[in-house]
Amino acid sequence: MSLTIHPVTGIPEVTEGTDLGVLIGDVCSSGEFGLANGDVLVVTQKIVSKAEGAIVEIDQSDPLSHKPLVEREAVRILRRRGDLIITETKHGFVCANAGIDLSNVARGHAALLPDDSDRSASRIRERIRHNHGVVVGVIVSDTFGRPWRRGVTDVAIGCAGIGAVVDLRGTEDALGRELLVTEVCIADELAAAADLVCGKAEGIPVALIRGVNPGWLRESSVQEEIIRSPSEDLFR
């Protein structure tokens, strides 16, 4: 089955207190593509942080003024080189600068990561179900770097109603032999796919993905399914 990824245009500037479920539900359902059961909405972290008030003031005359914030928000510093600090956040994410960033935020401000992006996703999902009678999956995405490979990609930092990791172990491949390594992080793949239409400079904060395998739609959590505990991690 084919998958279609639509940019959701017409989302106005989000401020603290905006109910994202109401906003996104209304914009999507009155838009060109509507909203259908089984759609997956990918919502970029920045508007979630803005809606939840996770924005702090920084001294805009000092290009390093967000660094003390990074130290405060990180529970652990993994690596440091020049201005770059690779951190572990309280959520268990390993990313640069504790996920704090300055792009698409008003001058003199920085956006922190949402407190609990699984819960943020769940709220958006429940609001859309309540207001529009449509059951969608929701992913909150953010842009992370990674070791060994240049360039950033979008990954899932929260989800609701869509599996984060799909376990195909025990199913057979096309030649009838049991698959060996097949826990696929579809939430990260969906977040990456969404970024291809949102872009960084476009200011399009939501993508609508239609055609997702219905077997993947279920209760889920990035915290429980994606975050690898330090004890099973070989690179911490």
- Looking only at residues 159 through 198 of this chain, which bind a second copy when binding is defined by CB under 8 A? 164-166, 168, 171-175, 177, 179-186, 188-190, 192-193, 195-197
Choices 23-31, 51-59, 95-103, 120-128; region in contact with a second copy by CB under 8 A:
95-103
Q: Is 82 in the site for a second copy (CB under 8 A)?
A: no
How far is the CA of 91 from the CAs of 79, 107, 155, 167, in angstroms? 18, 27, 14, 23
Specify the residue, 22 or 102, whose C-beta has the smaller distance to a second copy. Answer: 102
Residue 200 has which token pair? 């960084």
Based on the shown chain and the rule CB under 8 A, indicate whether residue 236 belongs to the binding site for a second copy.
yes
Q: How far is the CB of 227 from a second copy (least distance, A)?
A: 7
Closer of 117 and 123 to a second copy (Cβ): 117
CB of 48 to a second copy, least distance (A): 16
By CB under 8 A, the count of residues binding a second copy is: 75
Q: Quick check: 12 binds a second copy (CB under 8 A)?
A: no
Phi, psi of 144 (to 5 degrees): -120, 150
Q: Tell me how far apart the alpha carbons of residues 2 and 202 are, in angstroms, rounded to a whole number.
A: 25
Question: Which string of DSSP letters, residue by residue, matches 46-63?
Answer: HHHHHHTT-EEE--TT-T
SS (H, E, C) 81-122: ECCEEEEEECCCCEEEHHHCECCCCCCCEEECCCCCHHHHHH
Q: Which of residues 24-63 bind a second copy (CB under 8 A)?
A: none
Cβ 90 to a second copy shortest distance, Å: 14
Q: Which of 12, 17, 61, 150: binder of a second copy (CB under 8 A)? A: 150
Phi, psi of 139 (to 5 degrees): -120, 135
